[in-house]
Chains A and B, each alone.
Chain A
Amino acid sequence: MPKWDEEFFIEKGLLLTAVSSIIIIALIILFVFKEGIPAIESTGFFSFLFGMDWAPTKGEYGIFPMIIGTLGITVLSLLMAVPLGVFCAIFLAEIAPSAMRKVLNPTIQTLAGIPSVVYGFFGLVLLVPFMRLQFGGTGFSMFTASVILTVMILPIIVSVSEDAFRSIPLEYKEASLALGATHWQTIKNVIFPAAIPGVITSVILGMGRAIGETLAIIMVAGNVVQIPSSIFDPVRALTSNIAIEMGYATGIHYNALFATGIVLIFMIIVLLVIANYLHYKKKVTMGGGYL
């Protein structure tokens, strides 16, 4: 039965490709945990997570300032990138004439393609001196890092939310306009609410990139392990911590860097859960299916 064989192999083959990503992530998580747990055990869970001092040469491993650093940079950059990105997406999807869209879309996509080291170098050479002159201090700061990140996550937010706005059925818009609503009222009251799940997805993807970004942040954030007293203070992100010290780390220091990775993985998982929940809550039902 050759027919059966073909079906069988292709089905199993597709299953294998689908499952392989799960296997890979499971292996990675397993490995990170295996390497990281010893450090958490020897330091103690709470003194690792909430410890204020990171001094590997003295055997102190507390990552709380870096958790604050990562969250601070991420929140700041989202505060700037989300309004900018969403409004830009509305403009592209609803208002921009097609000639303008043809220029804007590739430009924004190019932003996404620039390697992060280029952003970092740009930040180090141009943005850091600018920040120093404007706001004093060294110029290396949480704010500088989040400005760079804003530019980096903008293309993700713009393109994913633009798709969301475009996927709203034309009937919605037509119905709203037919009822006498203006274009802005239609966008505000019909299109935007219907597209919210997609917008949330775009924000989550942007946040994921912001949390995971390493190189550009190393170059402009100053990498000082401290809880910043203002947004113009230098901070160190969790990812930077791993990248900066991995080359030298041995023994428990090495394990502590993997433990930092565990914390990062948990942060991402929590964010994904929240995102999926919001996505589900805001889903618009239409006809028999979801949007």
Chain B
Amino acid sequence: MDTKYIIGIIVAIIVIVGAYLVLAGSGGGQEETITIVGSTSVQPVAEKLATEYMKKNSSVKITVQGGGSSVGIKSVQDGTADIGTSSKSLDADESTGLTQDEIGLDGIAIVVNKDNNISGLTTEQVKGIFTGEITNWNEVGGSDAEINVITREEGSGTRDAVQEIVMGGKNVSFVDGAIVQSSTEAVQQAVAQDPNAIGFMSYAAVSDTKALEIDGVAPSEETVLDGSYTIQRPFLFLVKGEPTGALKAFIDWVNGSEGQAIIKSDKVVPTGKEVNSTS
């Protein structure tokens, strides 16, 4: 009786292990896999790039995951991702051993509800609103209504960028009552349904809200590229060491005309250059 059981169990184990080896073996033998991990702001454009590239090169499998810029930097450093993405410039410590490829520039739009009669603000005014010095729309030429600030969670690449560029560093805090939303889409919804709200998001993501002119310049591809629209940040692909093989082929394609066209269709301004971090 018990020998029968044991034989049965052994046979079952052999079958399972055998099947696993056969399946895994065939998978690994034919495909190259590239894992992209990092900034949630880069994620949509990275996904589009991956989908298009996989259509053309069926032997390559690319997976794209979010997590945030710091996760992207960390996972490419420790080798869990082939490409780390970041939506902020790297400091010297973070960039050690990494090849940085700037695939494009992203303008960050300061957005308000479509019913808001304000069409532009100065950087100082935006800073005042976000820090809580300006609390009523009539202080900046709007109607008499309290301003509801919508921000992103600590650690968000977009929030970091706004803090650096608009507010002048990490020591300046957002106003205490600022509503925190944990994704671009949630900010979009929050601003779209509240006539007195103000928030920020990637220029590429603006849909149901109104992007404000900042210091008289509206965000657009031209103004981001020539630098006249100042609230912008780089989208970076990070690779440990020098890229080789399938990885190099993918990055070259991203920086080539096809890749740049896809990036452009996502309202990110393509630059496609290798950068050396200085800051």
Is A223's beta carbon under 8 Å from chain B?
A: yes
A248 contacts across to B, CB distance below 8 A = 67-68, 70-71, 153-156
Question: Which range contains the number of A residues in contact with the other chain?
Answer: 20 to 34
A247→B173 contact, CB < 8 A: no
B176→A224 contact, CB < 8 A: yes
With A223-B179, A223-B181 known as contacts, the answer to whether A124 contacts B154 (CB < 8 A) is no
A138→B176 contact, CB < 8 A: no
B193→A222 contact, CB < 8 A: no
Q: Report the Cα distance A55→B153, complex, angstroms.
A: 11
Per-residue CB contact flags for chain A residues 222-251 toward chain B (1 = under 8 Å, else 0) read: 111010000000101000000111011110
Across the A-B interface, the 6 shortest Cβ-Cβ residue pairs = A248-B155, A2-B1, A223-B180, A248-B68, A222-B179, A244-B153
User: Closest approach, in angstroms, between the C-beta of A142 and any C-beta of chain B?
Assistant: 13
Can you report 28 residue pairs joining A to B where beta carbons are below 8 Å apart?
Answer: A55-B154, A55-B173, A57-B154, A124-B193, A139-B193, A139-B194, A140-B179, A140-B190, A218-B182, A219-B186, A223-B180, A224-B177, A224-B178, A224-B179, A224-B180, A234-B177, A245-B153, A245-B155, A247-B66, A247-B68, A247-B71, A247-B155, A248-B67, A248-B68, A248-B70, A248-B71, A248-B156, A250-B70
Nearest residue in B to A2 (C-beta to C-beta)? B1
Q: Would you list which residues of chain B between 49 and 79 have a CB under 8 Å from chain A?
A: 66-68, 70-71, 74
B176 contacts across to A, CB distance below 8 A = 224, 226
Q: Report the Cα distance A107→B197, complex, angstroms.
A: 37
Q: Would you list which residues of chain A between 113 and 153 have a CB under 8 Å from chain B?
A: 124-125, 128-129, 132, 137-140
User: Closest approach, in angstroms, between the C-beta of A16 and any C-beta of chain B?
Assistant: 15
Q: Would you list which residues of chain B between 17 and 46 have a CB under 8 Å from chain A?
A: 40
With A124-B186, A224-B180 known as contacts, the answer to whether A247 contacts B67 (CB < 8 A) is yes
User: Closest approach, in angstroms, between the C-beta of A205 and any C-beta of chain B?
Assistant: 27
Contact of B179 among A2, A129, A138 (CB under 8 A): A138
B74 contacts across to A, CB distance below 8 A = 250
A125→B68 contact, CB < 8 A: no
B155 contacts across to A, CB distance below 8 A = 56, 245, 247-249
Most buried by B among A6, A223, A236: A223
User: Closest approach, in angstroms, between the C-beta of B233 and any C-beta of chain A?
Assistant: 16
Is B189's beta carbon under 8 Å from chain A?
A: yes
Q: Report the Cα distance A140→B190, complex, angstroms.
A: 9
With A2-B2, A219-B186 known as contacts, the answer to whether A236 contacts B180 (CB < 8 A) is yes
User: Closest approach, in angstroms, between the C-beta of A169 and any C-beta of chain B?
Assistant: 46
Contact of A234 among B70, B171, B179 (CB under 8 A): B179
Is A11's beta carbon under 8 Å from chain B?
A: no
User: Closest approach, in angstroms, between the C-beta of A126 and any C-beta of chain B?
Assistant: 9
